[in-house]
Structure 1
Amino acid sequence: MSTPNVTEDLDSDTAAQVLALAEDARRADGVAPLSEHTLLRVRHGAPSGSSRFHTAVEDGRVVGFAFVERVEGEPDSGEVVVGPDHRRRGHGTALLRSVRADAGPGGVRVWAHGRTPQAVAVAEAGGWTAVRELHKMRMPLHDIPEDVPGGPWRAPELPEPRLRPETSERVRLRPFTVGQDEEAWLAANARAFADHPEQGQLDLDDLLQREAEDWFDPQGFFLAVTADGKVAAFHWTKVHADGAGLTDGEPVGEVYVVGVDPDWQGTGLGRALTLMGLRHLRDLGLPWVHLYVDGDNTAAVRMYESLGFGMWDTDVMYAPTV
């Protein structure tokens, strides 16, 4: 075990090794160890001064990796992965020590995706405690027979989305238009997630990177738009070609992000757009849809449960004990 290297960017060879390492861990653990945001930072780089890359190297190869992003006024937020063939050699502990020693003035917190036994053991051994939970919920979009492991599941009814009369007169529901709606969506996203340390920080480069991904489909990105072109609410869906851990490689859907501008809260737009996106994913023939929701957002959890979602798994954020 060696001391991790800490840099503000990655060369192309190191980035490729990190991506391969993350894929190896996903296959071994059944859950992706790095979020989409982190993978985009690995592939495309990060704005100067915004991020730190920690790499554990053994015999010239990357065997462990941590990514940390810095947001003004918030603790650093990070993720850690160690290759399946290099675990229990101290690399996870070394990476946690590295991100803690390198942390900004607000300290650092690290996500453990899927709450795998290995991640929990390393965090607890290092004196890190759980401070936030992100629930993963799932729902069948079509009836799944009992001969499928864990089955049977019956898909709930998805009623046609209807707007209240006073709301329907003020907004129009339509798909996102590339090259036209970016700035309006960014403004609405920033307002909807002003208190969210990750989602609320997305900028135009982040959005364009996602538009360039193979999964991006503007026909599955639904907006409620006012007469003057402002976005009042939105539901961005996503299709995971690899099954996202729900299937053995059969594509599944995701409620990628639902947001409502604070001025439009309580109008029913969030539920209407959620239903619009769910029906879109169902009509694609996908068997499952999943989503992420903060553990303390009880109102959102209840709404999703009322639509037919159930708890599936939980990601845990850890912070070092002071």
Structure 2
Amino acid sequence: MTHVRTTETLTPDETAAVLALAESAGEHDGLPPLSEQTLLRVRHGARPGTARFHLATQGAPAAGAGDLVGFGFAARAPGEPDSAEMVVAPDRRRSGHGAALLRALSDDAPGDGLRVWAHGRTEGAVALAASAGWTQVRGLLKMRMRLRGDAQQPGAGAGLPEPVLSDAVGERTVIRTFRPGSDEQAWVAANAAAFADHPEQGGLTLQDLHERTNEDWFDADGFFVAEDTGTGAIAGFHWTKVHADGAGLADEPVGEVYAVGVDPAWRRTGLGRALTLVGLRHLHERGLPWVLLYVDEENRAAVRLYESLGFSVWDADVMYAAS
């Protein structure tokens, strides 16, 4: 029997158990079962009313964190369905724990309902969604491009075009690296404007930014912003990231187009393409073999841009909801 305990806070032992479970599942499946945002909430906690943690144990409710067989997380926002993720220990699958977690997440969700992300179109996720009668409502494409090649598989990075701004844009902006300690508020404002219709990225707060810039992977030299020289505001940005573990692409570090955003007032000016190229050339100059990115499959303009630069679809994250 599976017991699922729902809480808004985790004890230190529960936090350690969840992180160990996620690491074990990632090593087994070859891809992370939980998003970076969820892992940050596990490690740092969440603001009251914004998150629900679901801890699945085998047997009696008194079982401790060491008996954790599954975990679910639901991000909550007013007027929106809960956005959830879940993972079951590799050696405890096909025992009903996933179905129990899905029921717990559904029962706990508000009247607006529940949506659940599955990272990768894995056999288990597809089967669980089908058995529950859930269907895909959103897709997040995972794209990749080779930066460093060999004789058999040449890299595209060496052929990246120069980032060029039009005279009008070049006279009003300067592209530079992010300045920790002075750019945070301006970046949060620019990110909110750029992703006003994006349910996850657009809601990042100053605290969310600080949590990310305090991560071991953060490198200000790979965080590029286009400053409006007239107002000092950030007109656009390209934040790159390096995955030391290879992110399932290689046995060495690889790069990521972590976030590219342009303020609506600066769209259709070529600034987004230029910023994208600045970041890609930075990752290529670091000697990395691959670069990856995530993009909503319905954002056809962005998909076409990345395809024009040499990216191709590698995998996809899928969001499911009840039919």
TM-score when normalising by structure 1 = 0.96
Pairing of 1:243-322 with structure 2 (within 5 A): 243-248=246-251, 250-321=252-323
Q: Equivalent residue for 2:133?
A: 127
Cα distance in 1 for residues equivalent to 2:260 and 2:78: 24
Change (3 A) 1:144 1:79: farther
Q: Equivalent residue for 1:238?
A: 241
Q: For residue 229 of structure 1, report the CA deviation from its aligned partner.
A: 1.3
Q: For residue 182 of structure 1, report the CA deviation from its aligned partner.
A: 0.4
Cα distance in 2 for residues equivalent to 1:72 and 1:196: 15
1:31 aligns with 2:31: yes
Cα distance in 1 for residues equivalent to 2:181 and 2:71: 35
- Residues 55, 71 of structure 2: 8 Å contact kept: yes
Q: Equivalent residue for 2:193?
A: 191
Which of the residues 93, 102, 105 maps onto 1:96? 102
Secondary structure, counterpart of 2:160 in structure 1: coil
Pairing of 1:20-99 with structure 2 (within 5 A): 20-58=20-58, 60=64, 61-99=67-105
Q: Equivalent residue for 1:224?
A: 226
Q: Equivalent residue for 1:149?
A: none
Q: For residue 281 of structure 1, report the CA deviation from its aligned partner.
A: 0.4
- Residues 192, 259 of structure 1: 8 Å contact kept: yes
Secondary structure, counterpart of 1:104 in structure 2: coil
Q: For residue 145 of structure 1, report the CA deviation from its aligned partner.
A: 4.6
Cα distance in 2 for residues equivalent to 1:194 and 1:105: 24
Q: For residue 153 of structure 1, report the CA deviation from its aligned partner.
A: 4.3
Q: Equivalent residue for 1:13?
A: 13
1:154 aligns with 2:160: no
Cα distance in 2 for residues equivalent to 1:104 and 1:174: 44
Q: For residue 104 of structure 1, report the CA deviation from its aligned partner.
A: 1.6
The number of residues matched between the two structures is: 315
- Residues 74, 197 of structure 1: 8 Å contact kept: no
- Residues 255, 290 of structure 1: 8 Å contact kept: yes
Q: For residue 127 of structure 1, report the CA deviation from its aligned partner.
A: 1.5
Runs of 4+ that moved beyond 4 A: none
Secondary structure, counterpart of 2:283 in structure 1: helix
Cα distance in 2 for residues equivalent to 1:251 and 1:213: 16
- Residues 75, 83 of structure 2: 8 Å contact kept: yes
Secondary structure, counterpart of 1:4 in structure 2: strand
Q: For residue 210 of structure 1, report the CA deviation from its aligned partner.
A: 0.2
Tell me the amino acid that sits aligned with residue 276 of structure 1.
V
Cα distance in 2 for residues equivalent to 1:153 and 1:47: 47
Encode CA deviations 1:30-82: one digit per residue, 9 max, x unaligned: 11000000000000000011000001012531110000001223211010100
- Residues 2, 96 of structure 2: 8 Å contact kept: no
TM-score when normalising by structure 2 = 0.96
Percent identity of paired positions between Structure 1 and Structure 2: 62
CA RMSD of aligned residues (A): 1.0
Q: For residue 168 of structure 1, report the CA deviation from its aligned partner.
A: 0.5
Q: Which runs of 5+ in 2 are unaligned?
A: none
